[in-house]
Structure 1
Amino acid sequence: MLYTPIKFRNVELKNRWVMSPMCMYSCENGMANDFHYVHYGSRSQGGTGLIMVEATGVEPRGRITNHCMGIWNDEQAEKLQKIVEFVHQNSDSKIGIQIAHAGRKGSTWNNLQISVEEGWETVAPSPIPYHPTERIPHVLTVEEIKEQVQNFKEAARRAVKAGFDVIEIHGAHGYLVHQFLSPLSNIRTDEYGGSFENRIRFLLEIVDAVNEELNENVALFVRISGTEYAENGWDIESSVELAKILKNHSVDLVDVSSGGNIHGVKIPLFDGYQVPLSSQVRNEAEIKTGAVGLIKKVEHAEEILQKGDADLIFIAREILRNPYIAVQGSFEMKEECFFPHQYLRAKISS
C-alpha cells in the first residue's frame, strides 16, 4: 500500500510517504532562503509523495522563534513559491504547508523564553504560561480572536497563490489552536471557553475561513495532538469527537500527533508510539488520518497501512537522516517510485 496513490479532492499523491513538517529555525524575518530551497527540493528528489513545509507563522507573534518561517506578507509567499515551483517541475511530489500560531509557546530560543525586547509579548486564550517561570501571556479578546482567524485565512490565500497543493492547520503540540482546545490551558468563560463546543470554536472558525480560500485543487489537513497525557486534559476521546466534526467541515485528513501543551508530562516513547491514536481517530471518526512518531522502517510503515491504522505515513527524523527513504523503500518492495532522470544510472531493480 505504501506505493498506492491516494486522492484528496483533486490532489493525487503518488504514494503514502509524507515528509512531516519540521521547524528548521533558519529564516530571517520569516523568509525562506537557499537552505530551504535545497532542503525541501532534495526530499522531493527522494520520491516522497507529499512534502510538508514547516510550521509557518500567520503573523510575527505566531512564530516559535525569531528564526521561524512566516507567511504573513506577500514577499514571504513569493520566496516559498520558488520552492513549490522547483518541486512541481522536478519531481512528482506534491507540496503542502503547515500554517501555524505558537501562542504562549512563542518568543523562545533553545526552548527558553526570550525577553520582550528580543522577542515579543505572547498571546493565549487564558493568562496561563506554558512554564511557571515564563511571562503571563496576553489574553486574546474576542475581537483579537477574530483577527487571528483572519490571519489564518490570509495565510491560506497566499499559500494557494504560491501553488501549494495542501494546507495544514497546526492544531497540535501546545500551540495556539491546541491551547484553545484544552481545558487545562483554556479557562475562558465566554463563547471560546468552557464546554467542548466552545473550546473547538476557534479551530472550526479557522477551518471554515481557510476553506473559503481553497478549491478542489488544494486539500485541507489538520494536525492535532491525539492526547496531551494529562489528567482532565485533551484526550483521545475528545480527538475522535473533534475529528467527526472536522469531517463535516470539509477537512480531508487529520494528522494525529500528541503532547506538547502541558510542561513536564511523561510521554512513553517507542517506535510508532502515536499510531494507536491515529488508528482510533481513523476508525471511530471514519476520516482519513496520518500516522507520525518514530516510524523508521519501510516494513513498519507498510504494516501500519495494511492494518488500517492510517492512510498516510508522516516521517520526521528518519527523512532528515535519509531523504531517499521512499525511493529506497521501493527498491526493497519492488514497487515503482519517482526517480530523478538525472540519476538513472544509479537506479537498481533488485
Structure 2
Amino acid sequence: MADLFDPVDIGGVTLRNRTLLPSMTTRLADDDGHVTDATVAYYRARAEGGVGLVTVEMASPEIAGKHRFHELGIYHDRFLPGLRRLVDVLHEAGAKASIQLGHGGSRARSVVSGVRPVSASAVPTPVFEIEHEIAVPEAMTAQRLEEAFAAYVAAARRAREAGFDVVELHGAHGYLISQFLSPLENTRTDSYGGSLENRARFGLEILRRIKAEVPGLPVIFRIGVEDFFSGGLTLDEGIQVGCWAERDGADAVSVTAGHYRSLPDAARMIPPMMYPEATFLDYAARMKRSVAVPVIGVGRLGDPEVAARAVAEGKLDVVALGRPLIADPQWVAKAQAGEPVRRCLACNHCVTHMRSGATLSCVVNPATGRELEYADATPATGRRIVVLGAGPAGLTYAAQVAQGNDVVVIERADRPGGAFRLTGLAPRFNDVVAAEPTFAAYVAEMERDCARKGVAFHYRTEATTELLRDADLVVVATGARYRFGLGAVVPRLLHTRAARSRAAHRLFASDRMRDWLYHRLRRGAGAAVAARLPLAARTEVVVIGDAARAGKAREAITSAYDAALRSTTRTTPDPTRPTEVASR
C-alpha cells in the first residue's frame, strides 16, 4: 500500500510526496497579470510547508479567456520573467511546479479582457465576478478553434520555458473545455458537438497538440466528471473522457466535480461543510479503476487521516489540498510529523471573498494573502501569559505565543470553543449551511496544538488572584455578550429545531439580519472584564477578538493573530522561571 508521504511519478517528474496544491485564484497578480512579491510569498509558504506539487492558479492561454481582474498571465512572453522567478522559488523550497492552463470561455468577461467572450456555442451564461451579468459568447468558428489550439500550445511552451515541471489543462467547473463537454452549453452540429466523442474532441485535441508540439512536458488533464445539472456531463461520461485523456497522452488525470450551473448551487464544485468529508473520493476511485496513469483526487480531504487512508486504500494516487493549505500552509509537514493541523472550516470564505473582487483570504488563517505582512513578525518571549477564554481568538493567540513563553488558558466552561461551538448549530455560517462537526474538529485541533506546545488549560475556572499573580500579560478573549438579556435565549434557540427551519435559513441569509446578530445585538465585554481582574500594577492587559469588538469569526481570529505576532515588545527570558508549562 502506498503512503501519503511516499514519492510519486507523473510523466517522469518525481514528487517528494503524494500531496498537491490545486489551482485556486489568489488575485495577487498585478493589474496586467504579472507575478508580484505577494504572489511569490503566498506560493513559497505552501512549498516550504512540504507540499509535493504546487499548481499555480488558472492562467488563460489567450486574452479572450481572461475572466478575472488580477488574473495571472501566461498568454504573452512579457509574463515570463515573473513566472521564472516564481518557479525558482518553488524549486528552492523542494516542490515541483505546475501551472493550470484554463480558458474562461463564456465566463470570460469583456470588461476584464476587452474582447467578446467565445465558447462552443452562443448560449447565454450567468456570470458572477464582482457583479452579476448574463454573458452571450460568440460561437467559435473553425478558424477560431485553430487560434485557441495554437494559444494553448504557445502557453505550454511558455510554461516549459519558465521552468514549470508540469502543466494542467482545466477541463472542469464550467470553463471552456467543460463548456464543450456539456450538451447544454454545446449545441454545435459539427465534429465538435453532438456525441460525447465529438464534445470531448476540443479538450483532447489541445492535449494531443501539447504532447506533440511541446515534447517532454508532462500534462495533467483535469476533468469534472459530474456536473450535477440536467444537460451537464454525467459521471459515466466523465470517466470515459478521463480514459480518452489517458489514451491521448495525459500523464495524470485530476478528478473533480461540479459546475457553475450545479444544483442546488455552484458551491458543490468546492463542497462546503454541509457535504461529507472526501466528497468526491468515490469518483476518483472509479477513475483509478479505469486508467493506469496516476489519479489526483480533491474535495474535503483536509483531515490527515482521511487523506492518508484514501491513498493507502488505493482510491487515488495524489491528494489535492486546496482549502486545507489555505488554512494551514504547513499542513503537509505537520501531518507527516503527526502534529495537529489548523483545520479548514470548509466555509468557502476564501472563494466567495475572492469572487467579490478581493484578494484571497481565510477565516482561520489571517496570513493567507498577507504573507509579506507577517514575514518578520514574531511574538515577544520570556513572559508568563494568561489567556482568559478558550474560544477561537484565545486559542489562536495561545498557539502563536506558546513557544518561548509560559502560557496558561483559563476557561469558565468545561471545554474549549466558547460561542464558536454554537455557530455550528446556526442555519448558516458565512454564505454556507453550517455543520457542527466542522467547528468541533477545528476547536479540537487548536486545543491539541496548544497543548503540544506546552500551553496549560484550566477549565471550569475563574481568573483568581493566585492564577494571575505572576502574569506579565493577561489577554482577555472572553468573547462578546448579547444585549437585552438575549445571552440565555440564543443558545436555547439554537439547540431547537426552529434554528434549522426554512424560516430560520431565510432569516440568516439576510445580510441585514446577520449584521444585527453578529454586531448590533452583541457588545465586546472585554474592557469590563479587565477592569474587574485582581492584577498587579505591572501586569499588561490586552483585549482581543469579540471581547474587544463584537463581530464575525474572521475578525476575531485576525485580531488575535495580530496581537500575538505584531508585538514589538521583547524581553529576555528569566532563567528562574520555567518557559515551558509542560515542565511543571
Using structure 1 for the length normalisation, give the TM-score.
Answer: 0.88
Read off the aligned partner of 1:243 and give its amino acid letter: G
Answer yes or no: is 1:270 the counterpart of 2:265. no
| Aligned residue number for residue 211 of structure 1 | 211
TM-superposed CA distance for 1:249, in Å, is 1.2
Provide closer, same or farther for how the CA distance between residues 73 and 303 of structure 1 changes in structure 2, counting only shifts above 3 A.
same
Distance 1:166 1:209 in 2: 15
User: Using the alignment, how far apart are the partners of 2:196 and 2:190 within structure 1?
Assistant: 12
Runs of 4+ in 1 over 3 A off after TM superposition: 115-120, 213-216, 263-268
Which residue number corresponds to residue 164 of structure 1?
164
- Change in Cα spacing, 1:116 to 1:48, as seen in structure 2 (3 Å) is closer
Identify if the C-alpha distance between structure 1 residues 46 and 190 changes in structure 2 by more than 3 Å, giving closer, same or farther: same
Aligned to 1:331: 337
Checking the alignment, whether the CA contact within 8 Å between 2:169 and 2:222 is kept in structure 1 is: yes
Cα-to-partner distance string for 1:224-251 (whole Å, 9 max, x where unaligned): 1110012342011111111111111110
Contact 2:182-2:231 within 8 A present in 1 as well: no
**Residue 305 of structure 1 pairs with residue 300 of structure 2:** no
**Given the alignment of the two structures, is residue 79 of structure 1 paired with residue 82 of structure 2, yes or no?**
yes
1:109-188 pair list within 5 angstroms: 116=111, 119-131=114-126, 134-188=134-188
Q: Which residue of 2 aligns with 1:342?
A: none
Out of 176-185 and 116-125, give the one that drifted further: 116-125
Report the alpha carbon displacement of residue 42 of structure 1 after superposing the two structures with TM. Answer: 1.4
Seen in structure 2, the aligned counterparts of structure 1 residues 61 and 26 have a Cα distance that, compared at 3 Å, is: farther
Is the Cα contact below 8 Å between 1:130 and 1:262 reproduced in 2? no
Q: Given residue 234 of structure 1, which amino acid in structure 2 is its aligned partner?
A: L
Instruction: Provide closer, same or farther for how the CA distance between residues 316 and 205 of structure 1 changes in structure 2, counting only shifts above 3 A.
Output: same
Q: Using the TM superposition, give the Cα deviation of residue 3 of structure 1 relative to its aligned residue in structure 2, in angstroms.
A: 0.9
* Equivalent in the alignment of 1:2: 4
Q: Structure 1 residue 297: deviation in Å? A: 1.3
In structure 2, C-alpha distance between the alignment counterparts of 1:78 and 1:70, rounded to whole Å: 11
1:35 aligns with 2:41: no
1:240 counterpart residue number: 239
* Equivalent-residue separation in structure 2 for 1:141 and 1:285 (angstroms): 33
Counterpart selection for 1:25 from 24, 27, 37: 27
Match status 1:288 vs 2:294: yes
Are residues 1:58 and 2:57 paired? no
Kept after mapping to 2: 8 A contact 1:227/1:236: yes
- Does 2:227 match 1:221? no
Of residues 91, 94, 115, the one that matches 1:92 is 94
- Which secondary structure does the structure 1 equivalent of 2:232 belong to? coil
Q: Structure 1: 5+ residue runs without aligned partners?
A: 108-114, 334-344
- Which deviates more from structure 2 when the two are superposed, residues 196-205 or residues 132-141? 132-141
Residue deviations 1:158-178, cap 9 Å, x none?
000111011100111100000
Match of 1:101 among 98, 103, 120: 103
Q: C-alpha displacement at 1:284, in angstroms?
A: 2.5
CA distance in 2: counterparts of 1:285 and 1:78, whole angstroms: 37
Distance 1:44 1:116, change over 3 A: closer
CA–CA separation in structure 2 for the residues paired with 1:61 and 1:31: 17
* 8 A Cα contact 1:226 1:278, kept in partner: no
Contact 1:240 1:285 in 2 (8 A): no
Q: Per the alignment, in what secondary structure is the counterpart of residue 168 of structure 2? A: strand
Equivalent residue pairs, number? 327
Letter in 1 for 2:38: F
**What is the deviation of 1:116?**
4.3
CA apart distance, 1:26: 2.6
Contact residue 130 and residue 263 of structure 1 kept, 8 A: no
Write out per-residue CA displacement over residues 279-313 of structure 1, whole angstroms, 9 at most, x where no aligned residue: 11111234421111111111111011112111000
Higher relative contact order (CA 8 A, sep 6+): 1
Larger mean Cα displacement after TM superposition, 304-313 or 207-216: 207-216
Q: Is the 8 A contact 2:100 2:170 kept in 1?
A: yes
Task: Report the Cα distance in structure 1 between the residues aligned to 2:292 and 2:282, rounded to whole angstroms.
Answer: 15
Task: Pick the structure with greater CA Rg.
Answer: 2
Is the CA contact 2:4–2:17 (under 8 Å) kept in the aligned structure 1?
A: yes
Checking the alignment, whether the CA contact within 8 Å between 2:153 and 2:214 is kept in structure 1 is: no
User: How far has the Cα of 1:264 moved from its partner?
Assistant: 4.7
Output one character per residue of 1:71-106: Cα deviation in whole Å (capped at 9) or x when no partner.
011111221110111222x22210110011000111
Question: Which residue in the other structure is 1:111 paired with?
Answer: none
> What is the letter of the counterpart of residue 93 of structure 1?
A
Partner deviation per Cα, 1:119-176 (whole Å, 9 max, x = no partner): 5421111111222950311111111011101110000000001110111001111000
CA contact (8 A) 2:181 2:233 kept: yes
In structure 2, distance between residues paired with 1:201 and 1:24 = 31
SS of 1:262 mapped into structure 2: coil
CA contact (8 A) 1:19 1:51 kept: yes
| Rounded Cα–Cα distance in structure 2 between residues aligned with 1:124 and 1:314 | 28
SS in 2 for 1:323: coil
After TM superposition, give the deviation of residue 117 of structure 1 in Å.
Answer: 8.3
Aligned to 2:258: 259
2:64, 2:18 → 1: CA distance?
Answer: 33
Match of residue 46 from structure 1: 49
1:284 partner SS: coil
Sequence identity (%): 30
Once residues 112 and 334 of structure 2 are traced to their aligned partners in structure 1, the CA distance between those partners, rounded to angstroms, is: 47
Distance in 1 (alpha carbons) for counterparts of 2:298 and 2:114 = 31
Distance 2:124 2:70 in 1: 22
- Unmatched runs of 5 consecutive residues or more in structure 2: 128-132, 340-402, 405-451, 453-584
Q: Are the counterparts in 2 of residues 7 and 13 from structure 1 also a CA contact under 8 Å?
A: yes
Q: Report the TM-score when normalising by structure 2.
A: 0.54
Query: Secondary structure of 2:124's partner?
Result: coil
Preserved CA contact (<8 Å) 2:5 2:16: yes
The two structures, once aligned, show a CA RMSD in angstroms of 2.1
Give CA-to-partner distance per residue, 1:155-206, whole Å, 9 cap, x none: 0000001110111001111000000011111010011101111111111110
2:304 partner letter: V
Q: Which amino acid aligns with 1:304?
A: A
Structure 2 CA distance, aligned partners of 1:118 and 1:86? 29
Query: Is the 1:21–1:98 Cα contact (8 Å) retained in structure 2?
Result: yes
Q: Distance in 2 between matches of 1:85 and 1:211?
A: 24
Equivalent pair of 1:281/1:287 in contact (CA under 8 Å): no
Residue in 2 aligned with 1:318?
324
